[in-house]
Structure 1
Amino acid sequence: MHRPSESTIIEWKSVPVNCFIPPARFPSIRGHQPRLHQRRSGLSGLHVPVFSLSLQSDFGDGQTYKRMSWLEHALELEFTSFTIGTDSSPQGKQWETELGHIFAEFRRWRSDILILCHVGRCTHADPLSGFGSRKHILSSLEGFLCRTGLEYVDVLCAHRYDAATPPEETAGALATAVNQGKALYAGLSDYAPSSAHHLVTLLKEIGAAPVLCQATYSLGNRWVEHGLLDILSEHGLGCIATSPLSRISEVGPDGGARVALSRLAKARGQSIYQLALSWVLRDLRVTSVVTTPATATQLDAIHAVASSEVTPEELNFLDACFPPPT
């Protein structure tokens, strides 16, 4: 299994990058639930809860009241980081408008909430080319802010490399959003190592150093260990991991690896999903894992994983079942 070297761990701890428990901000559960740990995003000053919640367009079904109740429970558990991809389809625009009504009810907590907004090749309604252009990035952000009623997003991420747009143009658009105060930080999402290195370098040169990169990472899909995590560490970016169950069923003959994973999870008193989350967070270069709970019960189950660790023996067993990239 690819692990940071001892010198790397010492360097990152000294900044520090380890989990810490923030002070209680939501008094309705003070003294009833443990605080959700946070990690520093790379070498930036941004600290993110170890779990972020996805708020995509298919999350909304018009039941605004239920969504408000769900969000209130999430905030009470210190789930304060949310990822949202802009969506120019009619359904997406409707969902963003609904989000605006929901966020309005929690406006007093805006300074405690992190909104990670992804602009680029996000949905079927986005263009197949030019999605990394200045026009697409800035107009999509403007429309998102208008429909949600937000004054800014915390992190604006360019989602996916666009071969039809010069990286300098993409970087310039992100920098403009930051300079205008419509985004506090720049970021990127779903970039290959070489493309990520290039874009991060460009952003640093124009004074808009990114703070994080979102990427798929799971036991069954460990591609980020083949260069991306090292590049992010080199540039001081945190990694926001997504899809913690990706391709797990595809590893091994007859699904044997998944069966072994299920047995280990049962022995730990966890579900497969909970164990998958614990495994992803074993790497200190991972700042947060994006999850998609739809109910309060699922929120509680994910919250319980925050203090769970995977032992060296369990890591070796999982490496045998889900070999790291060579």
Structure 2
Amino acid sequence: MSNELNILIKAVLDENLSQKSMQDQLDKISGKLDLKVGLDIKEFEKVKKNLDSLQQQLGKETSIKLINEKDLTDTKKFVTSIEEVKKQFKDLGTIKVNKSFDPVTNDLKEFNVEIRKADGLVERLKYQLAQLNGIHGIKDGFIMTNRSEVDNTSLQMEKALQKTIESRQKVQKASAIEQDRAINKNIEQTHKETKAQQEMNLQIERELDLYKKKKQLQVQDMVRRYGNAADTTGLQTNLNRVMSIDPSAFQSMKDMRHWQSEVDLGFKQIGASVKSSSSHVLSFGEAMQTAMVKFPIN
């Protein structure tokens, strides 16, 4: 928008006043000359048309542009350089300047200034050469021809909100990734534990099978060695305990080892009892033999 000081001159011709003035002048002349002058209507119509034409020409507005360099400088609308503009508005915000040059002379003919304020407002100023706007007598001067302001507060708030949402989404995404990693880790750990348990169960099954066979042989050996002196009931009870156990009864090798220790103790107690009985029997036989030697029967 051009902020120029204009003086408008407009001429208006009053037809009724003109007609009366002419009639008065004619009457005055006729009185001095002792003449009677009358106004012909047709002639008056011609005069009226000429007056109408004159009125149309005078009725056009005439614009006269006046410039006062001091006033322009005071209102910060007239500058001599871009640096001057930057200096004037440096405290308002971030300043960006776009220049436009004359393609023939390569001289700067206009430039646009954008001021981004901290509150989100954007002010745009347009400067053009004073001579391009019909202002002469000022060399290398630029006049502000347009000034506008855009309120970007809502846009900045929207951007800030969007940024907050994106940040939260990143956090949620990172959290989801961490959760996925934790779940995958738990799954892998479960697989490892399951595999380890399966391997341990297989080992328990194998060792228990060997243990059962070992105990069967141990019972057979004790019966063979001690005969009727052996506690066959106790041996069979302990052997049934061994043969009836299932590998699933043990959660770990440690559990099976503890159980084996209890079973072994039971067999040891039976073995010790058998050995003690056999020892007493042999001692009695030896005593009889000794008696026979000392006291022979004839």
TM-score, normalisation: structure 2: 0.18
TM-score, normalisation: structure 1: 0.17
RCO higher in structure (CA 8 A, sep ≥6): 1
Q: Higher helix share goes to which structure?
A: 2
